[in-house]
Amino acid sequence: MGELPLITPMPAVADFVLPWDGPVNDTVAAIGAARSACGDTFVIDGGDDRYLFLFSPAGLRDFYAVPEQQASKGIADWKMLVRKLPDELFDGRRTLPHELFTRPNVAGYLDALEEAISIQLSELHPGDEIDLFDFTRRLGHRLGLASWGGREILHSDRFDELIEALDVLDGSEAFVAPTRMQEVAQSGKAAEREAMAKTELILADSIAARRNPVGDLLDMILERWADIPDPERLSGVARDVILVHLGSMSNLFAALGWSLVHLVQHPDVLARVRAKQDADHDLVSRCVLESTRIGQRSIMLRTVLEPVTIDDGSQTYEVSPGASLATFLPLTNMEAGPGLDRYDPDRWKGPRLVSPPGLPSELVITFGVGPHACPARPFSVTAMSRVIERLFDAFDLEALFDDARPRPDQIGGVARAADPCMVVLRDR
Ligand code: HEM
């Protein structure tokens, strides 16, 4: 183990390892116990890494405000994802996911979303028993690929093969199943490399068939590769699409899964969503925010590149390059104020959380705050809301599960369910 980066003064060091350094059964319980023992600011060491965890309002304000060049989210994300994804997927990318969402082009992607939902709903029949998270995962692939891989991919006769390969590649496993990463490293990412080659081939075939621009996000990606001859162009475009898509599969389908679970569990709220009264015109998007809040399992990380000063409200710390700043959303999202342990879409007024009143925005996070807030928030809220409206317009969902639990070992993204959440579909 090398020398660990200095933090001055040194806060308490928690007696705990992060799940990619050793076995952890329940990350929320374990990091919660570290916080109870050490307070709102503490350190966790693992291997060559030193993490400064922050939970106080002032500490979180500094955490979210720190500029990228001083403490990088990009590098922190890459360090996490490269435990699972082949290194070469990151090389030479010409499209960063957030660039796709800079245009206010909601109308542009709506048609693609509607088509993806129609195809998925056409597979469902009254009497079918489905797992809500399997359903949203398949639909998440359709929604995303239709949006940045070109709508034509929805009709590829290799679509099922494509999503199977994407599920093997699945970068989010780095934080959904962190203890599996040692096995991935030992295999030299062999399964991931094979899946990436297959994904690239299927996408490149579909992209090559596009003759004229249609004005979608895939066209934006194609423009960036226009100066490169085939087959490098097709491979570059396909890899850009893959990286954006894997990013989208970190959160969207899981947040949608919890949104459906909560509505099945709260028929009173569902009745209001269906009734579409004026006062509830935005209820469906408030439901989505509420379920995302509850489902959040994100560890937020920044890799310190230049010395950073963090004031946690009681102490000022000088943090040296090489350390990571961190916070873990479930501990604040569910505990920062009274009643936050309950599902209540009416705690939102439009996009703002108003109950409990007066909470600083850094204490309850759905899509992030500050310079790194999620650029795909409007896209994601629209996509999830439309799925909810159309699914519950078409069917009643009868729960076959008693309780829905998040996976306890997850540390990042929105929670996956620990067990299947089966429902039976009934005609309305
Ligand atoms: C329900 C769905 C989603 C949720 C809950 C969500 C949540 C978040 C959160 C909390 C952050 C801030 C992270 C931080 O500060 O460290 C973030 C950033 C980001 N998200 Fe999302 N996200 C969702 C969907 C998506 C989708 C569909 C995409 C695109 C493919 C996307 C792309 C990004 C990007 C590129 C950033 C980084 C922005 C930057 O660093 O400037 N997200 N997201």
pLDDT in tens, 222-275: 999 999 999 999 999 999 999 999 999 999 999 999 999 999 999 999 999 999
Dihedral over alpha carbons 382, 384, 390, 393 (to 10 degrees)? -110
Question: Sorting pLDDT into bands at 50, 70 and 90, what band is 48?
Answer: confident
Query: Which residue's C-alpha comes closest to atom 38 of ligand 1?
Result: 372
Confirm or reject CATH 1.10.630.10 for domain 92-291+367-427, answering yes or no: yes
What is the chain's length?
428
pLDDT at 106 over 70: no
Residue 374 C-alpha to ligand 1 middle, in angstroms?
Answer: 4
296-315 core/surface letters (b: 16 or more CB in 10 A; e: else): bbbbbbbbbeeebebebeee
* CB-based contact 325:64 (threshold 8 Å): no
296 lines ligand 1 (CB under 6 A): no
The rounded radius of gyration (Å) of the Cα atoms in the chain is 22
Parts of the chain belonging to CATH 1.10.630.10: 92-291+367-427
Nearest to 115 by CA among 154, 64, 158, 170: 154
pLDDT in tens, 323-356: 999 999 999 999 999 999 999 999 999 999 999 9
Provide the mean pLDDT of the chain.
95
Residue 8 C-alpha to ligand 1 middle, in angstroms?
Answer: 31
> Rounded to whole angstroms, how far apart are CA atoms 417 and 24?
17
pLDDT at 200 over 80: yes
Mean per-residue pLDDT for 109-126? 95
Of 245, 297, 374, the one to substitute when testing ligand 1's pocket (max ligand atoms within 8 A of C-beta) is 374
